[in-house]
Amino acid sequence: MASPAGRGLMSYNAAISRCARAGLYPRALALFREMRAQGLRADEYTLPPLLNSAALLLAAPAAAALHALLLRAGLASHLHVANALLDAYAKLSLGRAARAVFDEMPRRDVVTWTSLLAGLARAGAHAAAARAYRGMVGAGVAPDEFAVAAALSACAGATALEAGRSVHAAALRLGLAAFLSVGNSLVSMYAKTGALRDARAVFDAMRARCAITWTALIVGYAQNGRGARSLEVYADMVRAGCRPDYVTFVGLLFACSHAGFVDAGRAHFRSMTADYGVAPGPDHYACMVDLLSRAGRLEEAMDLLIDSAELDATVWKALLGACRVHRNAELAERAAEMVWRLDPTDAVPYVMLSNLYSRARRWGDVARIRALMKSRGVTKEPGCSWVGVSGVMHLFHVEDRGHPRASEIYRKLEEMTERIRAEGYVPDTDWALQDEAPEGKERGLAYHSERIAVAFGLLAVPAAAPIRVFKNLRVCGDCHTAIKMVAKAYDREIILRDANCFHHMKDGDCSCGDYCLN
């Protein structure tokens, strides 16, 4: 892009804005330096695209420097500038700085609130994101289609179906439901909260659809154990003349992997480049590694990686997962090494290795991995599960006795175990990770957070309604078996959403076809 050397502030502003829009962020910042060298000062039009560029370059020092500069220039209370600053801090995951900017703002509009909301949702602070949405409405700021889309996405991330429904209702009231972005986020929200029929209904009613719409539905079916449906939707997408993009293929390969469609996965992997000119990225390789290794083709997965130029931690983690399935400790250690080379504080490889050694009963190696983890100061996220009952969330940790109805819950838990034992349940202590006596391991498994949550669900959820349990990590294999049997023994539908996918459990079967497990 031509440099507007020698011209005035407005030419620079226009050029910087064009660069930022075109994704030429370093160029935008370079133009700013050039502009200052000529003695020109940034104004309220210069700063927003610069802040945006700094954020998207993940250049926190640049953002802080721009912050100092705009304070000196007296632009801190300019609404556009403050909004851009808030959003930059949010995009840089500097939550405290973002919050401070927000708190200091003398005026806030729908953009301010949307930046805050989206930033909180990105950071995984779902409850705070929900508060931001209510705060916006409470402050008398009417949500627009951007705000509604962001709010729905936050609901999806929190798997908060009821909150999502109420935002949907608000969107209808405000006349925003016909926006493509709102439709897209509705499809995704309903699919991610397990309400597939609603997702489909919104999809069918949409007047216009884009690749995002189709991708949301493809992924939705895959996450809910309906991989064959995902492939049908993809076929419809192509038939409708909509061009699949990078993300569509991630979703499609994810669907193939989840459903165990090896041939279809291989074919689509070839087709993405050959027919659509989409170069495979790390995400696609990770899906393929997952797909091939689950089908027992670890060799083929390795061959694929040798051909690929783009390898990142995602791919190595997928390979690590494959090694766990195949109990291949040597390869797993190598894959873990590769992840650590990129980020030594990533907890995933430690947990995976520890799991693998535990299943092989190699307790010495389990202890070694734990010690390594401790010495490097790495902590893993503690597992927890939660159930919503009439709008109240009940959260449980392992062996949690903090709930007001704890003694009742534990009696139910004992009863659950008795009933499934009578049906032939045998605890699979391979999933108990402690090196301890067998009966201790069984106890540990029986008191996993997901099981406590299910016991509570049996007590507190009306018999006709499905019990919806959420877990922040993946469900363990033993709990998966046990909860399937509980669903049958108590004739209840149990929907367990874990970090990986949905498990619709009914009559002793699960929608994941046990494929999600290792």
Partner DNA sequence: CTAGGGTTAG
Task: Output the smallest distance, CB 486 to DNA, in A.
Answer: 24
Distance of CA 130 to the CA centre of its chain: 17
Task: Output the smallest distance, CB 467 to DNA, in A.
Answer: 22
- The residue among 279 and 422 lying less far from DNA, judged by its C-beta, is 279
Q: Which amino acid is at 248?
A: T
Task: Output the smallest distance, CB 111 to DNA, in A.
Answer: 4
Task: Output the smallest distance, CB 254 to DNA, in A.
Answer: 4
Q: Give the CA distances from residue 500 to residues 147, 163, 225, 352, 514, in Å, rounded to whole numbers and listed in that order.
A: 27, 22, 11, 15, 12
Q: Which amino acid is at 418?
A: E
Q: Cβ distance 46 to 11 under 8 Å? A: no
Q: Which amino acid is at 441?
A: K
Tokens at 463, concatenated: 């018999």
- The residue among 80 and 370 lying less far from DNA, judged by its C-beta, is 80
- The residue among 216 and 369 lying less far from DNA, judged by its C-beta, is 216
Neighbours of 37 (CB within 10 A): 9
- Evaluate the CA torsion angle 208, 211, 212, 213 in order and state its sign: positive
- The residue among 211 and 489 lying less far from DNA, judged by its C-beta, is 211
Task: Output the smallest distance, CB 352 to DNA, in A.
Answer: 9
- The residue among 129 and 452 lying less far from DNA, judged by its C-beta, is 129
Q: Cβ distance 116 to 132 under 8 Å? A: yes
Task: Output the smallest distance, CB 509 to DNA, in A.
Answer: 22
Task: Output the smallest distance, CB 250 to DNA, in A.
Answer: 4
- The residue among 485 and 510 lying less far from DNA, judged by its C-beta, is 510
- The residue among 6 and 364 lying less far from DNA, judged by its C-beta, is 6
Please report, to the nearest 10 degrees, the dihedral formed by the alpha carbons of residues 302, 303, 304, 305 taken in order: 50
Cα separation, 288 vs 350, whole angstroms: 23
Q: Cβ distance 145 to 130 under 8 Å? A: no
Specify the length of the chain in residues. 518
- The residue among 76 and 180 lying less far from DNA, judged by its C-beta, is 180
Q: Which residue has the tokens 């998966």?
A: 480
- The residue among 79 and 395 lying less far from DNA, judged by its C-beta, is 79
- The residue among 51 and 455 lying less far from DNA, judged by its C-beta, is 51
- The residue among 2 and 464 lying less far from DNA, judged by its C-beta, is 2
Q: Which amino acid is at 56?
A: L
Q: What are phi and psi of 24, to 5 degrees?
A: -90, 70
Please report, to the nearest 10 degrees, the dihedral formed by the alpha carbons of residues 362, 368, 373, 377 taken in order: 150
Cα separation, 468 vs 474, whole angstroms: 15
Task: Output the smallest distance, CB 150 to DNA, in A.
Answer: 4
For residues 373-392, one letter each, b for 16 or more C-beta atoms within 10 angstroms of the residue's C-beta and e for the rest, the string is beeeebeeeebbbbbbbeee
Cα separation, 515 vs 509, whole angstroms: 12
- The residue among 22 and 360 lying less far from DNA, judged by its C-beta, is 22
Task: Output the smallest distance, CB 279 to DNA, in A.
Answer: 14
494 DSSP β-pair partners: 467, 505
Task: Output the smallest distance, CB 10 to DNA, in A.
Answer: 5
**Sequential DSSP letters for 390-444:** TTEEEEEETT---STTHHHHHHHHHHHHHHHHHTT----GGG--S-S-HHHHHHH
Q: Cβ distance 475 to 503 under 8 Å? A: yes
Judged by DSSP in three states, 189 sits in helix
Residues 6+ apart with CB under 8 A from 221: 191, 196, 227, 229, 230, 233, 255
Task: Output the smallest distance, CB 437 to DNA, in A.
Answer: 31
Task: Output the smallest distance, CB 465 to DNA, in A.
Answer: 26
Q: Which residue has the tokens 């990105």?
A: 122
Tokens at 428, concatenated: 């699979």
- The residue among 114 and 511 lying less far from DNA, judged by its C-beta, is 114
Task: Output the smallest distance, CB 115 to DNA, in A.
Answer: 5
